[in-house]
Amino acid sequence: MTMPRQTILVDADDTLWENNIFFEQTIDGFISALEPLGYPRDYVRRILNETERRNIRQHGYGVRSFGRSLEDTYLKLAGNMARRDTLDQIAEMVRALERIPPKILDGVPETLAYLAGRHRLILFSKGEPAEQAGKVERSGLQSFFEAIEIVSEKTSAAYSRAVDQFRIVKAAGWMIGNSPRSDINPALDAGLNAVFIPHPDTWELEHSEVHSGIGKLVIVQSFRDLRQHF
Ligand SMILES: [Mg+2]
C-alpha cells in the first residue's frame, strides 16, 4: 500500500547538512583566543550564550549576528583591556566560518530524491534569508523542493502561516528536523505531524523536551530512515 501524497516541510541546518559543529569549532577557537583574560572556559561560554540570546532577539539568526555576539562578548569580558588585533582575529574567524562549504549529511541526496518522487517537499528554515538561500544553492539540493521558505523564527504561528500559504492539509502535513524547540514542538502545536531526527551536535539553544501533540510524532535515527515512513 502506498502512502497518499503528503506535504513535508524539511529543516535545513543539522538535518540536511552539518552546521552547528562548525559554529562549535569557531567558539572553541574564540574561547582560546580569550585565554589571556584569565576567565574559565565555561564562564566565557555562558556569557556568549547570554549575548547570543539577546542578539538573536534583536538581529535574528545567522553568521553576522553570531559574529556580533563574539565581538560583544569579547568587549564585555576584556573591558579596557580590549585589543584591536584580537577583534581582527575574531572577525577573521567569522569570515572563515562563512567560507566553509556545505557538508551534506549521510544519505540525504538519495533520500530526498526518493521523497520528492512521492510527496511535496518544502524546505523550511530559519535565519538570515540571503545566507540561508546561499547555503541551499551551494548544497545542490534545491531542485528537490517545490519551495524554499525562510522565516526569522520557527514558532507555531510561523507553521500556521506556512499551512495557509502552501494550503497544507494538516493530517497530511509533516515537519522533519533535528530541533525539538524549532522543528518538532511548534509544528505539533500547529496541528502538523512531525519526524524528529536527533543530531548529536544540536546547538544548546535548541535543546528542549519533545512533547506530544494532536499530530503523529515519529523518531528516526537518520535521514535515510525516512524511507521507511514515507
Ligand atoms: Mg536544524
Same-domain pairing of 111 and 224 = yes
Domain count, the chain: 2
User: 202, 190, 189, 166: which is closest to 11 by C-alpha?
Assistant: 202
35 C-alpha vs ligand 1 centroid, how far in Å? 30
> Is residue 228 a contact partner of residue 41, using CB atoms and an 8 Å limit?
no
pTM: 0.89
Indicate whether 1 belongs to any domain: no
Same-domain pairing of 111 and 59 = no
Indicate whether 2 belongs to any domain: no
For the chain, list the strands marked E by DSSP.
Answer: 7-10, 120-126, 147-151, 173-177, 193-196, 217-219
Last residue of a domain, one of 70, 99, 128: 99
* Residue with cell string 534545491: 142
List, run by run, the mean pLDDT of 10-residue segments along the chain (230 residues).
90 95 96 96 97 92 93 97 96 94 94 98 94 91 96 96 98 96 95 94 71 84 96
Same-domain pairing of 207 and 127 = yes
159 C-alpha vs ligand 1 centroid, how far in Å? 15
Same-domain pairing of 147 and 59 = no
**Amino acid letter, residue 90:** I
Last residue of a domain, one of 73, 99, 125: 99
149 C-alpha vs ligand 1 centroid, how far in Å? 14
Looking up residue 68, the CATH number of its domain turns out to be: 1.10.150.240
Take residue 19 and report the three cell numbers written for it: 552546521
Same-domain pairing of 140 and 193 = yes
Q: Which residues have a beta carbon within 5 Å of ligand 1, which is an ion?
A: 11, 13-14, 178-179
Position 1 scores a pLDDT of: 59
| Boundaries of domain holding 86 | 20-99
